[in-house]
């Protein structure tokens, strides 16, 4: 990994449903089952086409976990013409590929069979580990049991899925918990080699949630966590912070080398009060480092061929496109 380069990707965020079986105490994304809780197919398709027009290369399908466990949801998803949210996601991933955007799905906990089902239509997938500690904020969230999350990340490794994970900081865990969580990720990566990037994400309190008055963690704590991550994780794993949530410019010297996805079209539905910076702002944050756009599948996984036949032509085309764009940028 080139230490002088800071990477980012250009994405669109498609929150297919806000319904979720969990009840995390910091969440403002989840809603009850209502007629507006599912992103309708025509809305999703419009977002994909507009994203392609704006040069986005990643469709981030992030949505509530196992929404079918919530009463009333099944009838609503059936109304869109699909049997389940995962079947709907699969269909939209295929549309995304046709629209020239690489899908990246984060659907919460998935079984090995479900991961295998989605793999051929996803260039990469993700699940935040968040923390290996048992914390009160997760007491009503069956999907946040650490062992279940570790098992899913391991299954993704067995299936050779390029994977994004990370820690959520300030939700009730200690610095020692953070270190333990990072060691778990490190060990999984040592076994399977599938972790592309680890997000060190700071929790931001949301009005109206049980954790609305909790203090956010400060810069020093964030920097220490990033330094520990950089020390513990192998060099080929990127360390990412969200540039709309944290002071990227100040954190880059702590060991950050990726600024995640930013969108010229859609908001951050998980942190809607924090707008994405533009590419020019990212360039300023990167300072003397070279800011470079990347795909949601990292180059070494492209080299290893960790993608399906269905994705191959698009990946090759987008690699060429990014390289042409970079060349144009360097010669102007």
Considering beta carbons, is residue 26 or 301 the nearer one to ligand SF4?
26
Considering beta carbons, is residue 22 or 132 the nearer one to ligand SF4?
22
Taking alpha carbons only, the member of 131, 164, 166, 168 closest to residue 296 is 164
Considering beta carbons, is residue 130 or 293 the nearer one to ligand SF4?
130
Q: At what angle do helices 175-192 and 146-158 cross, to 10 degrees?
A: 20
Other Cβ atoms closer than 10 A to 221 = 15
Smallest distance from the beta carbon of 137 to ligand SF4, in angstroms?
9
Smallest distance from the beta carbon of 31 to ligand SF4, in angstroms?
9
Considering beta carbons, is residue 103 or 108 the nearer one to ligand SF4?
108
* Paired residues of 200 in beta bridges: 167
Taking alpha carbons only, the member of 200, 202, 260, 204 closest to residue 228 is 200
Contact 143, 21 (CB under 8 A): yes
**Residue-wise DSSP of 291-320:** EEE--SS-HHHHHHT-S-TTTHHHHHHHHH
Considering beta carbons, is residue 156 or 237 the nearer one to ligand SF4?
156
Smallest distance from the beta carbon of 171 to ligand SF4, in angstroms?
10
Smallest distance from the beta carbon of 23 to ligand SF4, in angstroms?
6
Considering beta carbons, is residue 22 or 131 the nearer one to ligand SF4?
22
> What number of CA atoms fall less than 13 Å from residue 71's CA on the CB side?
0
Smallest distance from the beta carbon of 135 to ligand SF4, in angstroms?
12
Considering beta carbons, is residue 61 or 192 the nearer one to ligand SF4?
61
Token pair of 147, please?
């062992």
Q: Cα(46)–Cα(292) distance, rounded to whole angstroms?
A: 28
Smallest distance from the beta carbon of 69 to ligand SF4, in angstroms?
11
| Residue numbers at the binding site for ligand SF4 (CB under 6 A) | 20, 22-24, 27, 29-30, 64-65, 108, 141, 143
Q: Can you tell me which residue has the tokens 């610095």?
A: 175
Smallest distance from the beta carbon of 28 to ligand SF4, in angstroms?
8
37-53 burial code (b ≥16 CB/10 A, e <16): bbbebeebeebbeebbe
């Amino acid at each position: 990994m080139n230490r002088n380069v800071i990477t980012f990707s250009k994405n669109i965020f498609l929150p297919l449903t806000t319904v979720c079986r969990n009840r995390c105490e910091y969440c403002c994304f989840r809603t009850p089952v209502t007629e507006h809780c599912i992103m309708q197919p025509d809305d999703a398709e419009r977002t994909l086409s507009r994203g392609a027009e704006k040069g986005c290369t990643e469709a981030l399908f992030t949505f509530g976990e196992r929404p079918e466990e919530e009463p009333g949801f099944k009838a609503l998803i059936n109304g869109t013409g699909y049997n389940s949210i995962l079947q709907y996601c699969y269909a939209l991933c295929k549309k995304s590929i046709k629209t020239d955007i690489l899908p990246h799905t984060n659907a919460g906990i998935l079984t090995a069979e479900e991961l295998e089902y989605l793999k051929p239509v996803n260039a990469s997938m993700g699940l935040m580990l968040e923390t290996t500690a048992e914390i009160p904020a997760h007491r009503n969230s069956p999907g946040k049991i650490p062992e279940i999350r570790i098992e899913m990340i391991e299954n993704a490794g067995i299936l050779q899925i390029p994977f994004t994970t990370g820690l959520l900081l300030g939700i009730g865990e200690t610095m020692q918990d953070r270190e333990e969580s990072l060691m778990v990720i490190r060990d999984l990566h040592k076994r399977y080699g599938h972790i592309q990037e680890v997000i060190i994400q700071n929790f931001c309190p949301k009005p109206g949630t049980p954790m609305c008055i909790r203090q956010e963690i400060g810069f020093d704590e964030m920097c220490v966590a990033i330094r520990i991550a950089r020390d513990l994780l192998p060099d080929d794993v990127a360390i990412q912070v969200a540039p709309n949530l944290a002071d990227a410019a100040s954190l880059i010297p702590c060991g950050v080398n990726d600024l995640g996805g930013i969108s010229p079209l859609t908001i951050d539905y998980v942190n809607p009060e924090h707008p994405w910076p533009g590419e020019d702002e990212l360039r300023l944050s990167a300072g003397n480092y070279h800011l470079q756009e990347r795909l949601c599948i990292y180059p070494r996984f492209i080299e290893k061929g960790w993608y399906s036949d269905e994705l191959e032509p698009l990946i090759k085309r987008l690699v060429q496109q990014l390289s042409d764009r970079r060349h144009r940028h360097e010669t102007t």
